[in-house]
Amino acid sequence: MKRVFIHTFGCQMNVNDTMRMSEALGSMAYTPTPTADNADLIILNTCSIREKAEDKMLSALGRYRQVKLQRGALIGVGGCVAQQEKNRILERVPYVDFVFGPDAIAKLPEIIQRVDADRVRVVETAWVDSERYVFPSADPNTSRGKATEFITVMKGCDNVCSFCVVPHTRGREVSRPFTEVLKEAASLTTVGVREVTLVGQNVNSYLGGISFAQLLLRTAQVPGIERVRFTTSHPHDLSDELIEAFRVEPKIMGHFHLPVQSGSNEVLKRMRRTYTVAEYLERLEKLRAARPDIAVTTDIIVGFPGETDADFEQTFELTEQVRYAGQFSFVYSPRPKTGAAMKEAEWGSVPHEVKIARLERLNTLQKRISVELNAASVGQTVEVLVEGSSKTDASRRFGRTSHNRTVNFDGDAPIGALALVHIEHASASALGGKQVSVESLPAIVIPEAVVAPEVCVA
């Protein structure tokens, strides 16, 4: 039995790809190991959304060089950086044995056999045509021990946001047939999974035989599925039908991640986001009419080329107005081949110290809002799907509310149970409390231990 260590950078799509890599390698008798030190094969599943993620990949490769020298471990680089920068990786890091793109996961056994047999460096970054693309199906056994799991429903993106590398690294949109999605959801329930998150770069433009709203409703009807979530959405695809699904189906959880990116119409235009702030707010208003308590989170880029103080103030005001439950805000960094990178000189770079000062202001505001929103839960009893032990205190339990709020609590509820928890305190990032009651779980006894892929959210 050989051991594989997969270091995952970036988004949930990459985490999911890592699971599929592990499964593909299982067919070659590779078993996952939680540390690189005893691995026979090390794979970096990379992300190129931000510059920092690439730097982290290079520094991780530097660390794994020692394992190569001592154990002769094979080292491969997959994911978005591999797709975009294959030549640069091979030149800069001579001990990388193979490079493969997101469409080549199913070919991993074949690639490793070629490296092993021929002792050559292998590059496999060709796109698979949309018509011929087959989504790797998940092996439900790798999800044993989890209450919640992700299902890939589409890949790629047909939008052309000027800051984004996804269309260059993941290609055009391909939707997975809805029958396959429902089959995967059903198979996950056989190992105890009760919540699924449907993932893709732009899920609400899904075209897998039914609309995305119908896909959510059908998934919610799969016996054994108690909760359905999804990520990520583009505001211009937030249809009335999807909003209606939130109104009629309580199993669709009360959380919507709706990236706005900026509160300035001028910046949105340069970002090629195809909506105005007013249109974004109109969609949000409709959504909140359908599900009044919905928690909304967002992504914001600070310091996009040409962003003035006045543009930034509008983003600041929008954050205050919407009262987001949380936001992922980052300073702009140019990504290769994107429209914004090519136009930066014309639009004007924002100085680094200005970007950082704006980001700090925004983060401080968001923290204050998150604290206020979470504090409103103190004294209430909330329903939590239990995911395991608390990461900060193993004697406590951990789960999430419908609104995707993290809850750490005193209790004994098993993984996969829905527990009622009385909330006693709150911070910007989590709630804390005591278990009041827990449903009995008749069907499946779930073991605690699973080897989770190492994730670096960059």
Chain contacts with ligand SF4 (rule: CB under 6 A):
157, 159, 161, 164, 166-167, 201-202, 234
Residue 259's nearest CA partner among 407, 157, 147 is: 157
Nearer to ligand SF4, 168 or 288 (CB): 168
Q: Between residues 142 and 264, which has the closer beta carbon with respect to ligand SF4?
A: 264
- Indicate the residue among 24 and 203 with the shorter CB distance to ligand SF4: 203
* CB 327, min distance to ligand SF4, A: 15
User: Minimal distance in Å, beta carbon 158 to ligand SF4?
Assistant: 8
Between the CA of residue 239 and those of 235, 246, 253, what are the distances in Å? 9, 11, 17
CB of 191 to ligand SF4, least distance (A): 31
Q: Which CB, 100 or 163, lies closer to ligand SF4?
A: 163
Q: CB of residue 159 vs ligand SF4: minimum separation in angstroms?
A: 4
Find the shortest distance in angstroms from Cβ 276 to ligand SF4. 16
- Give the burial string for 95-129 (b: 16+ CB within 10 Å, else e): ebbbbbbbbbbebbeebbebbeeeeeebbbbeebe
User: Minimal distance in Å, beta carbon 236 to ligand SF4?
Assistant: 9
| Closer of 202 and 402 to ligand SF4 (Cβ) | 202
Report, in Å, the least distance between residue 165 CB and ligand SF4. 8
Instruction: State the nearest-atom distance from the C-beta of 363 to ligand SF4, in Å.
Output: 21
Nearer to ligand SF4, 159 or 333 (CB): 159
Q: Smaller CB distance to ligand SF4: residue 162 or 390?
A: 162
Closer to ligand SF4 by Cβ: residue 76 or 235: 235
Q: How far is the CB of 344 from ligand SF4 (least distance, A)?
A: 17
Nearest distance in Å: CB 84, ligand SF4: 14
| Cα–Cα distances in angstroms (integers) from residue 330 to residues 109, 357, 364, 405, in the given order | 37, 12, 13, 21
Q: Which is nearer to ligand SF4, 204 or 402 (CB)?
A: 204
Cβ-based burial of 241 (10 A; exposed 0-12, middle 13-18, buried ≥19): middle
Cβ distance to ligand SF4 smaller for residue 157 or 243: 157
Q: Which residues contact residue 405 at a Cβ distance below 8 angstroms, ignoring those fewer than 6 apart?
A: 295, 325, 374, 377, 382, 430, 431
Cβ closest to ligand SF4, residue 272 vs residue 288 = 272
Least Å distance, CB 171 to ligand SF4, is: 11
